[in-house]
Amino acid sequence: MIAFFAFIENEEKRRFCERLYLDYGREMLAVAYAVLSDHGLAEDAVHNAFLYVASCRLDELERRSEPERRHFLLIAAKHRALNRLKRNRFEIPTDPGDTVLTVGRPLDDGALDALAQKLERRELEERLTELPMIYRDTLYLSFFLGLDGGEIARVMDTEPPTVYKRIERGKRLLRELLERGGERG
C-alpha cells in the first residue's frame, strides 16, 4: 500500500500519508474487518478510504489533532466497509444502540445549540456515544471537525441527502438525550 502513495507529488505530503497509514492502517483494517468478516474486502475498504484521504483531505488532516485524525480515518474506513457490505447485499449489522425515532416536536437547532454550549467537549462526546452509530459518526464529523453535509457524504461514501437526514435525526435524538440528562429510555 505504501508504494501506492507514489502518485502524491509533494514529498512532505507523501510522507505524511505514509505515516497516517503506518499509524492507523491496522486499526482501520480491524474496523473494516469487524464489519465485513473478510480480510480482502476489509483491505479494499481501507485502501478506498486512503484513496479518498490522499486525493482531497491531506491538508485538512495535517491541521487536525491526532485523536481527530484517528477518528476521521476510522469513520472513513468503517463507512466504506458498510457500503461494501450493502453493495454485496449482505445484511448490515445493527448498532446495539439503534432506537426507533420518536415523532416529536420539530427540531429546534437553537435549543440544541444552547444545550450543547453548556457542555464541555468531553461531555458532549460522551453523550454522542449514546447515539446510534450512523448519527454519532455524522454529528461528530459535523460538530467537532466542522465538515459540511457534502464533505461528510464523501467521508462516509454516501449521498448528501442521506447525510442531511442523519444530521436532522441525530440532532433530534441528541436534543432529547440532553433534555433528559443523558438517560436512555
- Residue 96 belongs to some domain of the structure: no
- Tell me, yes or no, whether 124 lies in a domain: yes
Question: Which whole-number Å values give the CA distances from 50 to 2, 5, 43, 47, in the listed order?
Answer: 10, 9, 11, 5
Last residue in a domain, options 87, 121, 144: 87
Tens-binned pLDDT, residue by residue, of the chain (185 aa): 556 666 677 888 888 988 999 999 999 999 999 999 889 999 999 999 988 888 888 888 899 999 999 999 999 999 999 988 887 754 444 443 333 333 333 334 555 555 555 667 777 788 888 999 889 999 989 888 888 889 999 999 889 999 999 999 998 888 888 777 755 44
Global pTM reads 0.64
**Pair (171, 130) in one structural domain:** yes
Q: Does 104 fall in a domain?
A: no
* Domain harbouring 155, CATH code: 1.10.10.10
Encode 168-182: b = buried (16+ Cβ within 10 Å), e = exposed.
Answer: ebbbbbbbbbbeeee
Which residue range is the domain that position 172 belongs to? 109-179
- CB crowding 35-69: b at 16 or more within 10 Å, else e: bbebeebbbbbbbbbbeebbeebbebbeeeeeebb
Tally of structural domains, the chain: 2
Could you tell me if residue 97 is inside a domain?
no
Query: Does 80 share its domain with 142?
Result: no
